[in-house]
Structure formats: C-alpha cells, structure tokens
Structure 1
Amino acid sequence: MAAAEPVTRSRLAVWGDPIAHSRSPQLHAAAYAVLGFDWTYERRQVPADGFSAAMGELDASWRGLSLTMPLKEPAFRAASTHDRHAELTGAVNTLLLGPRPAGFNTDVGGIVDALSEGGIETVERVRILGAGATAASALVAAAEIGADRAMVAARRPERAAVLVGLGDRLGVGVDVAPFDAPHPPVDLTIATLPSGSALPPATAAQLAATGGALFDAAYAPWPSALAASWGHAPVISGLGMLLHQAVRQIRIFAHGDPGAALPQEERVLSAMRDAL
C-alpha cells in the first residue's frame, strides 16, 4: 500500500466581524507571489461567539490565521503559547496553527514601524483613544518608543482598568478620562476606535488642540472623521500599521519568528505597498 501524501499546510485566512473592508488578502497575496509560496489567503466573517466552532472546522491543510476585531481575545485563549507582546496585551492577532497553536501580537511592532515611517521615533506623553485590544497594543508600542505617561480616553472609562494595570507593568503612568474631559497636552494621540467612528465635532476639536500628532489605526474609510478634523498637526494612517504587522505575520507563517527577516524582504515590502 502506497504511503499517503504529506499534507501541505498552505491555507491561511483573516477572520473578523466585520471583515469585508480588510485589505489583508491583497497584502498577503502580493508577498506570497514574490516569495514563491503556493499558499492561499482568504477572508471570513466570524463573530466572537462563532470563533470556537470555526476553529473546530480547520483541518491539517491550514497553516495560520490573522485575527481582527472582535477575535483577538478569543484567539489569545485558543493559543497554547504566546509571544511577549501577546502576553502583555492579552490579545493575539496571529495564530500559527498546529497541534499546539502559537499566538502572536504583531500589532505592537506594526504601530512602532508605522510611527517611525511617519517621523515619530520617540515620545514622552501619549493619549490613547479607546480601551480595547488595539489600545493595549498602542500602550505597549508607546512604551517601547519612550512614553512614560499615557492618558486613556474612553466612552466607558471603567473598561480602561486593565490598561492601568498594563501601564504599571510597563513603567508607564496611565490616567483615564472620558473623551470630553479636559486633557493635558501630549506629543502623540493614538486612536484605536472602530472604523467609521465619529466623535462630536466639539470633542474632536478639543482633542486635536492638545493632541500633538495623530496616529489613527483606522484606514477604511480614509481619511477617518477624526483625521479629517485634526488640523495642521501630522496625521498617520493605519495603513502603515496594517502593512508592517502583516510583514511580521508572514515571517511567522514562513518560519515561526516575527523578528527574522524574509528572503527578499525589501521586494516583499515594495510589492505589498503597491497592493495597498
């Protein structure tokens, strides 16, 4: 009897809810073409309460998953191991599948690289809009470029308690306030609000007046309502974060290490930029 053909782990996808706006399939397809990988990358709408069932449908042909809202916390719970950024944030946006799924958070590095491309290498004081999983990644990224104080503005300030604890672990003092409260001036504002969110004009104007540069993790639609009202300070789109976190994901899918460069990585980056 002939031996069975080995299963090739060649299937990948991005899951989230909503997901139709995601540009990840274009980014990954462009990278795989340069690298010569015979992989497929799909998108699938998966709500938080459907995550476990969807995971149970995956067979041995699946290599990995990219996760976006609202699946980063369920993905953390599904992972058998976590990298440092995932452990700090309690959020996983990348699963390397196998008998023991490995969880990673590449959003932190994506934010750092996007800020660097926008000319922001270091900050002292930062404001974070929102209190969800991306806000935790933003706080870690801010700490990695030198922030020692952060103001978290949230619709429900009680949700930000976990960010105060994370700040303690990072050595960053974290204050919490509603969006419309008086805020001290900061070097950088990082908006982690869902795509399509719009703050009242007076609130947005108050935030912009003392907010320094704006990094908005949203990119669809662009400019976001907040970016369009930010005034003359620098504004950085979330597309840079999307690009650089995806590069780290592909490194993980290729060899399990988000820090190890891909072959021909400059060509890969160029093709991915063109796909945006």
Structure 2
Amino acid sequence: MPGARRTPTADAEMSARARLAVWGDPIDHSRSPALHTAAYRLLGLDWEYQRRQVDEESFSATLDSLDSSWRGLSLTMPLKHVAHAAADVMDRHAELTGAVNTLLLGARRRGFNTDVGGVADAFVAAGVEQIERARLLGSGATAASALVALHERGLREVDVRARRPEAARQLRQIAETLGVNLSVQQFTAPASEVDVTVATLPSGTALAPDVAAPLADVGGTLFEAAYAPWPSALAAEWPHATVISGFEMLLYQAVRQIRIFVHGTQAEPLPDESGIVAAMRAAIA
C-alpha cells in the first residue's frame, strides 16, 4: 500500500490522537484491552484502549461519530467485512482476504489485516517455518487469513473441509490468485498426510471422534484458532503432534496492530519488541 506523504500538520494531528478501542459483537470476552494496555504502558504512551459492543447495522454511524481524538480501531467478528468497505485504502492482506481487522484513523481510513501476519508469526514462534501441504477446517474469514499466511510460509496444496462446500468460494478465489492448488471436501472424506492443520471452526465445536481421529492421524501440527475454553475438543484429539493455541494468533496480530498504531505500518518492529511481547503475555497469564 502506498504510504501517505507526511507533513508537520499531519504529524501533529496524529500525535493528538490517543484513543483506541476494539469493536465487535459480542465483545465482553475480548482480551485485547489487556494486551494493548500492557504494550502502551511499556512504550511510555498515555493512550486509552477500550472495548465497545458494535454490530454490523450500527457500525457505519458509530464510526462516523468518532472525533479527532481517535487514533484507531481493532475490529473483531462480525465487523471485518464492513470495516473493509469503510476503508479508503488497504494493505495487500486486506485486499486479498476482503477483511479488515485494523483501522488507522486520520485524513483517510487506512485498513489492514493483521490476522494473516498473526497466523504466520505464531507458526514461526512454534518452530514451524516451511509448510507445503495443509488442511483447513472451516471456510470463513479466519480461514481466508490462514490461507494467505500459509502461502507466505511456502504452501502449494490445501485441502479445505467444509460442511457446505459452496461456502468456500472465496477461498477458491484466493487460492487461484496465489497459485495454490485447493480442493474442497466434506469432513468425512478420506484424508491424506499434511504438514499442518488449521482449525477455524467456531469456539466450542466438537467433531465426532470417528471424524476427528483420522484427521489427527495425518494432520501434522494443529493450529487451533479457538483458545477459550482450552484445550479445545479438537486439540484434545491431537495428542501426538504440536498444538498451537489461537491465543498465539491473538497475541501476534495484536503486536502488528500496535506497530500500525505506533508507526503506521505493520512491517516496522516496536522498540524492544520481545520485551513487549513478554509483557503482553504476562498481562493475561
């Protein structure tokens, strides 16, 4: 995404923007305030980060009501697609997935998808760096971000399991754009061996043992997007391989959001970023 040309006036305006929040519906469960507040405290920034329940119908009006004290927003379900529509410019990950989970406010609304980087960073932190074959369980917004993240780790083939194969249309489009070979099957179809399995099913979803066990036997490392309750029903079926909790994605996508709110880009690391990550983990331990 082309960077906006900065001026002294624009810099002064952004420095005065000290309010942030996470929006979604529901939102009371969100751990984002604790994560972000811990980081801003360590960075010495007197910024306020709240949570607010906002649904799709009220999103546009609520966004338009924000004054110049607002710096940015984190967006969770079900707002990632309406936030995409509200952005004036977007990064490539947001364009590919059709989802925005971060808005940087100012003269233009700049939209980002940090879920892609959050998934990729979580794999790297777990020591899983090269991925050629993967299986996606589910076909929603998180699956779209995971597909792009896996491609950036070397993905060539992906097996998508969905209860309604027609719901994977967006994943097919993304895979075609990226040059990834994608197949879509029912959960009960025979499974071949893959390097990783990414589960993006709603929190609390339990697959029948006769469905989960064959997937676990040849599923490689499991990335379970859900993190509460933990372990998930699916993670409990994965006893012989590495299991990565969705909290890791939550953590690393938040780090990338903070980079955006501080630097205007998710590519530039924070000062003492390892220390900030440790403080964020401690904040919700």
- Bucket of the pairwise TM-score, normalised by the shorter protein: over 0.9
Q: Residue 107 of structure 2 corresponds to which residue in structure 1?
A: 99
Q: Percent identity?
A: 62
Question: How many residues align structurally?
Answer: 272
Q: Residue 133 of structure 2 corresponds to which residue in structure 1?
A: 125
Q: CA deviation at 1:266?
A: 2.4
Q: Residue 218 of structure 1 corresponds to which residue in structure 2?
A: 226
Whether 1:27 aligns to 2:35 is yes
Q: Residue 139 of structure 1 corresponds to which residue in structure 2?
A: 147
SS at 1:44 equivalent: strand
Whether 1:208 aligns to 2:219 is no
What are the superposed Cα offsets for residues 95-121 of structure 1, whole Å, 9 maximum, x if unpaired? 001231000011111111111111100
Whether 1:48 aligns to 2:46 is no
Q: CA deviation at 1:265?
A: 1.9
Deviation above 3 Å: which 4+ runs of structure 1?
none
Inter-partner Cα distance in structure 1 for 2:248 and 2:82: 25
Match of 2:35, as an amino acid? Answer: L
Q: Residue 279 of structure 2 corresponds to which residue in structure 1?
A: 271
Q: CA deviation at 1:160?
A: 0.4
What are the superposed Cα offsets for residues 148-205 of structure 1, whole Å, 9 maximum, x if unpaired? 0001111211010111111111111110112222222211000111222222222222
Inter-partner Cα distance in structure 1 for 2:278 and 2:20: 22
Structure 2 residue runs of 5 or longer lacking an equivalent are 1-11
Whether 1:159 aligns to 2:136 is no
Q: CA separation of 1:50/1:225 partners in 2, compared to 1, >3 Å: closer, same or farther?
A: farther
- Higher mean C-alpha displacement, 182-191 vs 245-254: 182-191
SS at 1:126 equivalent: strand
**Are the counterparts in 2 of residues 21 and 220 from structure 1 also a CA contact under 8 Å?**
no
Inter-partner Cα distance in structure 2 for 1:170 and 1:262: 30
Q: Residue 251 of structure 1 corresponds to which residue in structure 2?
A: 259
Q: CA deviation at 1:207?
A: 1.7
Q: 1:15 aligns with which of 23, 30, 48?
A: 23
Q: CA deviation at 1:223?
A: 1.0
SS at 2:194 equivalent: coil
Match of 1:107, as an amino acid? Answer: D
Q: CA separation of 1:199/1:18 partners in 2, compared to 1, >3 Å: closer, same or farther?
A: farther
Match of 2:73, as an amino acid? Answer: L
**Are the counterparts in 2 of residues 164 and 173 from structure 1 also a CA contact under 8 Å?**
no
Match of 2:215, as an amino acid? Answer: L
Inter-partner Cα distance in structure 2 for 1:227 and 1:57: 42
SS at 2:190 equivalent: coil
Spell out the pairing of 1:78-97 with structure 2 (5 A cutoff). Answer: 78-97=86-105
Q: CA separation of 1:180/1:20 partners in 2, compared to 1, >3 Å: closer, same or farther?
A: farther
Inter-partner Cα distance in structure 2 for 1:240 and 1:215: 9
What are the superposed Cα offsets for residues 204-245 of structure 1, whole Å, 9 maximum, x if unpaired? 222212211100111111111111122211101111111111
Inter-partner Cα distance in structure 1 for 2:124 and 2:254: 16
Whether 1:173 aligns to 2:201 is no
Q: Residue 270 of structure 2 corresponds to which residue in structure 1?
A: 262
Aligned CA-pair RMSD: 1.5
SS at 1:37 equivalent: coil
Inter-partner Cα distance in structure 2 for 1:165 and 1:136: 10
SS at 2:74 equivalent: strand
Match of 1:88, as an amino acid? Answer: L
Q: 1:188 aligns with which of 196, 206, 214?
A: 196
Whether 1:109 aligns to 2:95 is no
Inter-partner Cα distance in structure 2 for 1:259 and 1:179: 37
Instruction: Give the TM-score normalised by the residue count of structure 1.
Output: 0.94
Inter-partner Cα distance in structure 1 for 2:79 and 2:171: 19
